[in-house]
Amino acid sequence: MVSSELLVLLLDLAGTVAFAVYGALSAIRYTRLDLVGVLVLGSVTAMGGGAMRDAILGATPVNAVSDWRYPAAALFGALITFFAARWLARLEPAIVVFDALGLGFFAVSGAGTALAFGASPVGAVLLGMLTAVGGGTVRDIMLSRIPSILYQDLYATSALVGALIVVVCEEFGLDELVPATVAVLTAITIRLVAWRWKISAPGVPWRDSISGAD
């Protein structure tokens, strides 16, 4: 049987590689970067969310610096992408799937870690989201782009739902493995469905009358 710690570790490492590939690839597409820039942005995408979560929780030194497997996974993913960018860029759907995997894994492992370190249920949901979207947000900010979580295809929402499932099941005392699996699959599904059919969260009502006043 898979233990809870091992489950979180495996989700985290798989998410790290997936996010490093996605982060490095979108960095390459948006701007002209050298090797160092690609490694930095891949690593930031992959480890930024978890590092912020751990610093906020006081789970320090954060995993990304105390456990060599996290930076190794992130640098591996970014390095692969640096050399294989030409081929990976053709695989847009595959890339979105990678990103959805990272999103689902991180939302669930992030919420679980937050609960384990004493966050409130509401706080654990927010930290699950932060783990999932934080790294990509910092990458977008470093590229002077408005972070895609603010407007894109239920991106943050899918992380929110995944984290929420984990926290609610934990509150009801359920075993960890099944809810975690359901939560990961739900988050990935929402993200992919929203991407495929361009579903977005509702916009601000009557916004035009406001922006007109600006």
The span from the CA of 180 to the CA of 116, in Å, is 14
> Could you tell me the two tokens for 87?
């081929």
Cα angle for residues 150, 95, 18 (degrees, 5° grid): 85
Applying the rule CB under 8 A, the residues between 126 and 185 that interact with a copy of itself are: 126-127, 137, 141-147, 149-151, 154-157, 160
Applying the rule CB under 8 A, the residues between 23 and 62 that interact with a copy of itself are: 28-38, 40-41, 43, 51, 54-62
Q: Which is nearer to a copy of itself, 69 or 196 (CB)?
A: 69
Applying the rule CB under 8 A, the residues between 94 and 133 that interact with a copy of itself are: 114, 117-124, 126-127
Q: Taking contact as CB under 8 A, which single stretch among the options 2-10, 95-103, 165-173, 205-213 is the one that binds a copy of itself?
A: 205-213
In 3D space, the residue among 159, 4, 124, 156 whose CA is nearest the CA of residue 53 turns out to be: 124
x/- site string to a copy of itself, residues 182 to 201, per CB under 8 A?
Answer: ------------------xx
Output Rg (C-alpha) for the chain, integer angstroms: 17
- Is residue 87 classed exposed, middle or buried when 0-12, 13-18 and 19+ CB atoms within 10 A define those classes? exposed
Q: Which is nearer to a copy of itself, 143 or 182 (CB)?
A: 143
